Structure 1
Amino acid sequence: MKNLLSNLKIAVPEKIFVKDPESSTLGKRIIEHSIVLINDIGFDAFTFKKLGVLIGSNESSIYRYFESKHKLLLYLSSWYWGWIEYQLVIETHSISDKKEKLNKAIEIVSRTTKVDSTFSHINEILLNQIIINENSKSFLTKEVDQENKEGYFIIYKRVVHRLRDMISDVNSKYKYPSSLASTIIEGSLHQHFLRDHFKSITDCKSASTPTNFFINLAQNTLNYSL
């Protein structure tokens, strides 16, 4: 298993990038340092010029990999959801009990992120913060329908569908499995944001995490318990 994971590559849709950043040392540095910079100054203030200064490379070299900072954010978002999907597969495949499997899946999509040493050039903790703070900017655009048709969000939708299927396995009569799945995934990001910035309007604090809340929500909605 360790050897298998050491060769693991998160496959981001090819239309998002001009050149695969995983194919070169410079590309990996672009990804590594873009995560640091976006987390530091925010996506709105982020530019390729600033990234170029940080990595000691010409701005034009970054455009050889991404045609815009929007495409770079799409790449980071897609990579993140691919990483979540790989965790869902690895950590739930041996769980036979459907309720336990759903609870584990909810934990995976809602828990506090830890660094994964499998991907040395990506700080998953900082990337998780970017997804919490900036992910909606990847799809709240006028181009979202066309980008959706071109498959830019296919990995994110796969994650939702995996969780949807686990919900249906627990309660096949529940009418809204996709809505519940997407609510858990998006809601967990929102609850982490509220916990960091608007503590007075969330119950998700140190003693009660977003994972606790969404497992409770699923159990009450689908009428199950362990």
Structure 2
Amino acid sequence: MSVFHEIRFPFPVSVGATGGPQRRTEIVPLLSGREQRNTSWADSRRRYDAGPGIRSLADIHTLLAFFEARRGPLHGFRFRDPFDNRSTAPDRAPEPTDQQLGTGDGSNAVFQLVKRYESGGESWTRTVTKPVEGSLRIALDGVETENLSVDWTSGLVTLDTPPSSGVSVTAGFAFDVPVRFEQDRLDLALDQPGAAAAHSIPLIELKP
């Protein structure tokens, strides 16, 4: 049975990294030259190639242990997206007012972490299920509070007291992406004595 392992992929992926969101759009061309477009996915799904993080035989040793312990694609794990891993821009530290989680109603105390992407008057809201432990900051009407608990495995935040009606609940945080190996094999290469590489390690996002 597959389970999720709360462990992060052990290599930083920076120079040479590839990956990002994928959408599934069905495009039907019409006889008039126009087209109809529909999507079968409500949310995007991210894919990555983690190969650029592997640079030595020691890295290969660590990768082999990580791959075998996950049973290849069987078990999921955390991955730090090198392009998008926090509630704000990549060059800024998270602030407690970065993302709107909801509005108090006097009874609800549980809020899901989300990240909203906005452009040109349109937006899409992403559910964040794997916040980085210790990174979360929460504010009520702009005033930061520590009277809460958080489930670092699901992104659910529980306030000690339900916020009053109309109170804005916001958050800032860093987060990982839940992924699995996309293939049942690793393709490794010995580039030269003492130097090895995994030219491609495809990873695919797991949806909640």
- Tell me which structure has the larger Cα radius of gyration: 2
Higher relative contact order (CA 8 A, sep 6+): 2
Give 1 or 2: higher strand fraction. Answer: 2
Give 1 or 2: higher helix fraction. Answer: 1
